[in-house]
Structure 1
Amino acid sequence: MDTAGRRREILGLALPATVALAADPLLGLVDTALVGRLGTDELAALGVATAVFTTAFVVFNVLTYGTTARVAQLVGARRPDDAATFTVQAIWASLAAGLLVTTVLVIATGPILDLMGASGGMTEPATTYLRIRAFAAVPVLLVQVGHGALRGLKDTRTPLVVTVAANVVNAILSVILIHPVGLGVAGAALGTVIAQSLAAVTFMVIVRRRLPAPSLRPVPSQLATLARISRDLFVRTVSLVVGLAVLTAAAARIDTVAVAGHQVARELWLLSTLMLDGFAIAGQAMVGTALGEGDRERARADAWSLTRWGLGAGVVAMLVYLPLGDVLPGVFTTDPAVIETVGSVWLLVAFLQPIGGVTFVLDGVFMGAGDFTFLMGSTVTAVVVGLLPVIALALSRGWGLPGLWWSVVALMVIRVAAQLWRLRGVAWTEVAEGQATP
C-alpha cells in the first residue's frame, strides 16, 4: 500500500473511531455537568462512584481488544466462520462477567465506598448512584464486544452511529430524571443504564447480521482460547485501573474539594485520551489484518505511520487544551474552590496529551499483533515503579492534587519509553503466529 492509500485507510478508520470515543465518555461528562449543579457533595460522590464503576468494568475491556485483534486476524486469514464463533464466545463471557459484577457491586456497595475513602455528605449519593448503575454491567460488556467485532471488520462508522444515539438518549433522560422528575443522582444513574441497554441490543443485532451465523452454544475450547488471549491484557488492565482508582482514593483522603476537582480533571483527561485512542483502534484493525495475511512489512509500516499520527494528534490536543484551563472546569461546577483546584493541575493535563497520543496508538498496534504479554509487563511496571510510589510520596509530603497528578506523568512516560523500545524490534510481529488456532 502506498503512502496516500495508507493515509486514507488510517483516517477512514481513526476519524469515526475518534468521534465515537469522544462521544462515549459523554455518558460520564453529562452526568458530571448535571450532578455538579446539585452541589459539591453530589459531585464528589459521583467522582468516587464513577471511579468504582470504571475499576469494575474497564478491566473487562479485554472483551473489546481481544475481540478486535482476533476478528481482524481471522478475517485477514479469510476465516470469517471462525471470527463469528470467537465473537459468540466473547458474548457468553460478557454475560457471565456482567452478572458477577452487578452482584458484587450491589451487595458490597458500603465496603467498596469505604475503601475508596467516601465519607460525610458524599456517602449517601455515592451509594445510590453506584447501586443503580451497577445494573448497566451486562449492557456495558455487550457493547464492548459489539465494538470489538465491528472494529475487527474495519468498520468504525457503525459504532459511531450507535454511540452517538446512546449519548443523545442518555442526555435527554438524565436532564429529565435529575431535575424535572427530581431523582438527583439516581436519575443520572438510571438514564445511563437505559441508554447503555438500548446500545447493547442494537450492537447485538448488527453483529448478527455482519458475521456468518455460528452455533450460539458455548464452546469450552473456544472459551479457553479467549481466556488465553485475554489473560495478560486482563492483568494489564486491572493494574492500570486499580492504580488510577488508588489515585482517586488518595484525592478523597485530602478533602472533598480535592476529589471533586480531581473528578473534573479526570473526566477531561479521559475525554482527550479516548479521542486520541481513535488511531489505536485503526492500529488494532490494520495491524491485525496485515499479520493475519502474513504481511509483516506492511504491519511495521502501518505501525510507524500510526505512531506519527498519534504524536501529531496529541500535540493538537495539547494546543487546544492549554488556553481552556479557565473555561472548561466551569462547565462542570460553579464552586470557585473546585475550579481553582482543577486549574492547579491543568498544565499537566495538557502536556500529557502528546505522550498519550503515542502511548495509546502503540497500545493498539501491539493489541492488533496479539502482543498482550508485553503490554502486561510494561504497564504493570509503570504502575508499580511510577504511579504508586509518586502517589505515596505526594500524600506523605502534602503536595496536594498537583503532586498526585505527577504520578500520572510518571506512569505515562515509563509506558511510552517501553513501547518505543519494543517497536524498534521485530519480535512483536511474530506473536500472532503462535495464535493460529481460533
Structure 2
Amino acid sequence: MNKRILHIALPNIVSNITIPLLGIVDLALMGHLGKVDFIGAIALGGTIFNFLYWGFAFLRMGTTGITAQAYGARNLSESILSLSRALFVALLGSIFILILQKPIADLSFYVINSEKSVEEIAKSYYYIRVWAAPATIGLYALTGWFIGMQNSKIPMIIAIICNIINIALSSFFVYGMDLDARGVALGTVIAQYCGLFLALFFISHYYQRLFRYWSAKGMMKMKELKHFILINKDIFIRTLCIIFVFTFFTTESASNNKNILAVNSLLLQFLFIFSYFMDGFAFAAEALVGKFIGAKNQNGLKHVIRLLFMWGIGISLAFTLFYATSSNWILSTLTNSEAIILEAQDYIKWIILLPILSFGSFLLDGIFIGATASKYMRKTMMAATLFVFIPCYFFLSNSLQNHGLWIAMLAFMLARGVFQSVYYKKAIAIKLN
C-alpha cells in the first residue's frame, strides 16, 4: 500500500513544489530589485488572484473525488462526464472574471488599504495577469480529473514544464526587458496557457477512448448534475473561508506598514512550501480514498488512511527540524534586505511550530474530498474561521501586534484538523453504507 501511496504522492509533491518555488522566484526577482515596494506589490497582486482563483479550487477538489469514485466503480461514462462538467464551469467562471476585471480591481484595492506606491505597481501586475484566468481555472479542472483517474504523472509533467517556462520568461522580462512586476505577470500568463494546451493534448492522446462514453444528455443528467453542484457548493464555501483568512492576513499586514507586509509575505512562503509538500499526500488520499469507497473496500480504506497519517507525522517532524535550522538561509535567498531579514527573525518561532500543528488538516482535507464529504468540510472550515481565527486575532492583536496575527493563523490551522477529527467517522461511515 505504501507503494500505491507514493506512486500518487511523489509526482504530486514534485508538481506541487513547483508552485511555491514559482512564488519564491517571483518574490526573489522583486526582492533583489532594491525596493521593498516590489515585494509588497507582488504580495497584494497575489492576494487578489488567490481570492479569485482559490474560489474555483472546488473544481480541482470536487472533480477529483467524483472521478475517483467513478474510477473505483468502473463507471467510464461518469469518469469523462465529470471532466466535461468541470470544464464547462471553468469556462463560465473565467469569462465572468474577464468581463468584470475592472470592478474586481477597484473593489480589491479599496479593501486592501496599502501605500500608494505599492498599489500602483500591484495594479500594473494585476491587469496583465488577469488574462490568464481561462487557463488557470481550466487547469484546476484538468488536474483534478487526472488525479481522480489515479494518474499523477501527467499533472507533474504539466506543472514542471509550465513553471520552467514561467520562471524563464519572468526572469527575462524582469532583467532583460526591465518590466519589473509586469514581467512577472506576463511570464505567468504565457506559461499558464502553455500548461492548458499541454493538458488538453494529453487527454486527446491518452484518453481518447473515453470520448465514446460522453453525451450531452448524460452531461445534463439532473441527478448527477445536482450531486456535482452540491459537492462543489460546499467546497466553494469552504474555500472562501480559506481565502478570507489569507486575504485578512495580508490586508492586516499591509495596514501596519510595508516592512511588515514584506516580512509576512516572505514568511508565508514557508507555509506554502510545507502545504504544497503535504498536499502531495493529501492528493494521494483523495485518489485512493475515493477509489476504495467507489469499490466498497472498507479494509483497504482503513489501511491507506493509517499509512497516510504515519507519513504525515514523519514529514511534519522533518520540516520542523528544517525550518529550525535553515530559516536564515531561506530568507537570504528571498531578499537581500538585511532589515527585512532581521525583522523576520522575530517571527520564525511560529514558522517552526507550523508543520506539526497543521499536517492533520491537510491529510483530512484529502480524505474528506475523496469521500466527497464536502458538507463536513464546509462545517469544520467555517467553525475554524469564525470561532477560532477571528476571535484569536481580535483578542491578541492589540497586545501582541503581528505576533497575534501569526498565533491566529496557527490556531486556525490546528482547529481545522481538530474539528475534522470530530466529524471523521461520521463522514466516512455514511459513504460505506
TM-score by length of 2: 0.94
* CA distance in 1: counterparts of 2:405 and 2:108, whole angstroms: 22
**Alpha-carbon displacement from aligned partner over 1:174-223 (angstroms, at most 9, x marks no partner):** 01101111111001001011101110111122234326012478636354
Give the aligned partner of residue 329 of structure 2.
327
1:348-367 superposed matches below 5 A? 348-367=350-369
Among 69, 85, 90, the alignment partner of 1:89 is 85
* CA distance in 1: counterparts of 2:250 and 2:393, whole angstroms: 10
Give the aligned partner of residue 3 of structure 2.
8
Give the aligned partner of residue 312 of structure 2.
310
Q: Please, which moves more after superposition, 146-155 or 215-224?
A: 215-224
**Alpha-carbon displacement from aligned partner over 1:35-77 (angstroms, at most 9, x marks no partner):** 1122101111111111111111112111111111111100111
* CA distance in 1: counterparts of 2:146 and 2:356, whole angstroms: 28
**Alpha-carbon displacement from aligned partner over 1:273-292 (angstroms, at most 9, x marks no partner):** 11111110010000000000
Does the aligned pair in 2 maintain the 1:27–1:192 contact within 8 Å? Answer: no
1:288 aligns with 2:290: yes
Does the aligned pair in 1 maintain the 2:70–2:294 contact within 8 Å? Answer: yes
**Alpha-carbon displacement from aligned partner over 1:63-111 (angstroms, at most 9, x marks no partner):** 1111111111001111011110111010010111112123333333133
Give the aligned partner of residue 28 of structure 2.
33
1:299 aligns with 2:301: yes
1:73 aligns with 2:69: yes
Q: Which runs of 5+ in 2 are unaligned?
A: none
* CA distance in 1: counterparts of 2:253 and 2:412, whole angstroms: 17
**Alpha-carbon displacement from aligned partner over 1:203-245 (angstroms, at most 9, x marks no partner):** 1222343260124786363544321121111101101111110
How far residue 128 of structure 1 moved from its aligned partner, in angstroms, is: 0.7
How far residue 419 of structure 1 moved from its aligned partner, in angstroms, is: 2.3
Does the aligned pair in 1 maintain the 2:59–2:141 contact within 8 Å? Answer: yes
Letter of the 1:244 counterpart? F
How far residue 411 of structure 1 moved from its aligned partner, in angstroms, is: 0.3
Q: How many residues align?
A: 426
Does the aligned pair in 2 maintain the 1:41–1:256 contact within 8 Å? Answer: yes
Q: Secondary structure at the match of 2:329?
A: coil
Give the aligned partner of residue 3 of structure 1.
none
* CA distance in 1: counterparts of 2:39 and 2:298, whole angstroms: 49
Give the aligned partner of residue 148 of structure 2.
152
Give the aligned partner of residue 210 of structure 1.
207
Q: Please, which moves more after superposition, 295-304 or 245-254?
A: 295-304
Does the aligned pair in 2 maintain the 1:276–1:356 contact within 8 Å? Answer: no
Give the aligned partner of residue 404 of structure 1.
405
Does the aligned pair in 2 maintain the 1:247–1:391 contact within 8 Å? Answer: no
TM-score by length of 1: 0.93
* CA distance in 2: counterparts of 1:36 and 1:320, whole angstroms: 23
Does the aligned pair in 2 maintain the 1:277–1:357 contact within 8 Å? Answer: no
* CA distance in 2: counterparts of 1:373 and 1:290, whole angstroms: 20
How far residue 255 of structure 1 moved from its aligned partner, in angstroms, is: 0.4
Give the ranges of 4+ consecutive aligned residues of structure 1 lying more than 4 Å apart after TM superposition.
none
**Alpha-carbon displacement from aligned partner over 1:144-188 (angstroms, at most 9, x marks no partner):** 111111101111111111101111101110011011111110010
RMSD: 1.7
Letter of the 2:428 counterpart? T
1:2-401 superposed matches below 5 A? 6-38=1-33, 39-208=35-204, 209-210=206-207, 212-213=210-211, 214-215=214-215, 219=220, 221=222, 222-397=224-399, 399-401=400-402
Q: Please, which moves more after superposition, 329-338 or 363-372?
A: 329-338
Decide which structure has greater helix share: 2
Q: Percent identity over the alignment?
A: 23
* CA distance in 2: counterparts of 1:205 and 1:431, whole angstroms: 38
Q: Secondary structure at the match of 1:277?
A: helix
Q: Please, which moves more after superposition, 139-148 or 292-301?
A: 292-301
**Alpha-carbon displacement from aligned partner over 1:358-394 (angstroms, at most 9, x marks no partner):** 2101110111001111111111111111112222234
**Alpha-carbon displacement from aligned partner over 1:252-274 (angstroms, at most 9, x marks no partner):** 11100000111111122112111
* CA distance in 1: counterparts of 2:279 and 2:396, whole angstroms: 29
